[in-house]
Amino acid sequence: MAEKKQNHLPEPAVNSISVDSQSQRTNHNHLPNFLLSVRLKYVKLGYHYLITHAMYLLLTPLLGVVSLHLSTLTFEDLLQLWNLLKFNLVSVILCSALMVFLVTLSYMTRPRKVYLLDFACYKPEQARMCTREVFMERSRLAGAFTEENLAFQKKILERSGLGQKTYFPEAVLRVPPNPCMAEARKEAEMVMFGAIDQLLAKTGVKPKDIGIVIVNCSLFNPTPSLSAMVVNHYKLRGNILSYNLGGMGCSAGLISIDLAKQLLQVQPNSYALVVSMENITLNWYFGNNRSMLVSNCLFRMGGAAVLLSNRSSDRRRSKYQLIHTVRTHKGADDRCYGCVFQEEDETKRVGVALSKDLMAVAGEALKANITTLGPLVLPMSEQLLFFATLVGRKIFKMKIKPYIPDFKLAFQHFCIHAGGRAVLDELEKNLELTDWHMEPSRMTLNRFGNTSSSSLWYELAYTEAKGRVRKGDRTWQIAFGSGFKCNSAVWRALKTIDPAKEKNPWMDEIHEFPVHVPKESPIVSSN
């Protein structure tokens, strides 16, 4: 018995030693990789710093030589220079006149600067709040969906990233639903006028001072138009430049910003009002085509109003300056054109069908857009790496991965259209962004859902409410839309935003965010 105990006792000790030694070997194997990644990180940072400050590093010795040479000049040398200029008076005058002409020409032909005075996002009243359980209950009571498609919507909603406080219009939540033109107009007025009232109160600008008004709403286009509705309600002046953009999808907000920028180049001392929204009342799908049911689960009520100015006197009180807008349109490709398509299903019910190619098409559009945007915003260090990789792959046929520029070196904040969880995951991966950079988009999707073209402004409002915006920071807004389009806007902060002085839809509850959003959040059925 003793021998058996002696033979049996050492086994756990031997096993523990072998496990410890194995774990030590594993740790030793991982340690060099970690150190290598750290070294590579600092090598890249050093490279970036060197290229960014290369001009200063090269000019410093040159300035030293020039300063040394100037220090040797005597009074006689200066007198000789003056006599030389005096005897060549005609040449001096001509050169001076040419210089003044060129400076004046440059000043007159440069683009007008466009400033964003402020913006406002509409926050619906408490009665319009719709939990996911209420959404499923109303969908069931509508009587239009099969049990299989109710289960399908539930599955989509559980994985969508939407929270419990999104908003729906009254006509959709009512039992039975009442989607009609009058209710759709009521929703449009509530959203547009709610956002514009807040904006005018923030900026102190009088409606009569507004020279341009642009309203974008993709799926609701009544007559008179939504822009005419704004003109009538606020009694805007008779020579107002009014535009109503329809059918342009979730990226229409940035198209409106670009249009306003172009108009402000030719309309001196003007204000441009941009209103971005979507209408749910007449566009909730009551059929059983699954490609059309996805939009029911994602789109929610919301809107935003933005006030732009080209007045130089407004710079001091503006929040941002518009630096770049880049628009990419892939509509020439049939696959891109048809990936988000409004049509009738087999029962003649109208809905928006989302193709399975949507993510691939969005990736292609994003690639084309950032190819144009990159040279405008990326530091020279990133452009050189991208160019070197491209030459290696295309000319020397080297088997290396395409270099993805680090856009975190160009922007401090990212506002990516909260179209859905899959879109945000894909962009986070492709652009190598962190959870901190994705937080405004994910929290907007969770709190307000997909509010279409206005989602970018809810995201910027979140960033401001968190006190993250500092003077000089650059923000990249990027959105996707039907057609298929990918549009970008780059803003530079003109001042540090103090959240204590802000009034936006996040302020009453910003302390609750960020919240954890699980990959799948089960919906508790009332049955």
Output the CA–CA distances (angstroms, integers) from residue 77 to 64, 68, 439, in the order listed.
20, 15, 64
**Rounded CA separation 350/54 (Å):** 59
Which tokens in the block code for residue 436?
Answer: 């901190």
**Rounded CA separation 214/225 (Å):** 11
**Rounded CA separation 182/170 (Å):** 12
Which tokens in the block code for residue 514?
Answer: 């960020």
Output the CA–CA distances (angstroms, integers) from residue 351 to 64, 177, 179, 180, in the order listed.
70, 16, 14, 15
Per DSSP, the three-state class of 424 is helix
Q: Which of 264, 213, 220, 219 is nearest to 235 (CA)?
A: 213
Strands 485-493 and 474-481, by their bridges, are: antiparallel
Query: Is 324 annotated in the active site?
Result: no
DSSP states along 221-281: --SS-HHHHHHHHHT--TT-EEEEE-S-GGGHHHHHHHHHHHHHTTSTT-EEEEEEE---G
Query: Is 413 annotated in the active site?
Result: yes
Residues counted in the chain? 527
In this structure, what DSSP letter does residue 208 have? G
By CB neighbour count within 10 A (0-12 exposed, 13-18 middle, 19+ buried), where does 164 fall? middle
**Contact status, residue 132 vs residue 523, Cβ threshold 8 Å:** yes
Which tokens in the block code for residue 371?
Answer: 């190819």
Which position among 279, 369, 446, 450 bears the catalytic label? 450
Which position among 121, 216, 297, 329 bears the catalytic label? 329
DSSP states along 108-172: HHSPPP-EEEEEEE----GGGEE-HHHHHHHHHHH--S-HHHHHHHHHHHHTS---S-EE--HHH
Which position among 279, 413, 437, 486 bears the catalytic label? 413
Which position among 121, 130, 217, 250 bears the catalytic label? 250
**Rounded CA separation 50/254 (Å):** 35
**Rounded CA separation 362/413 (Å):** 21
**Rounded CA separation 118/116 (Å):** 6
Query: Is 233 annotated in the active site?
Result: no
> What is the torsion angle, in degrees rounded to the nearest 10, for the CA atoms of residue 337, residue 341, residue 343 and residue 349?
170
Query: Is 250 annotated in the active site?
Result: yes
Per DSSP, the three-state class of 432 is coil
Q: What are the residue numbers of the active site?
A: 250, 329, 413, 417, 450
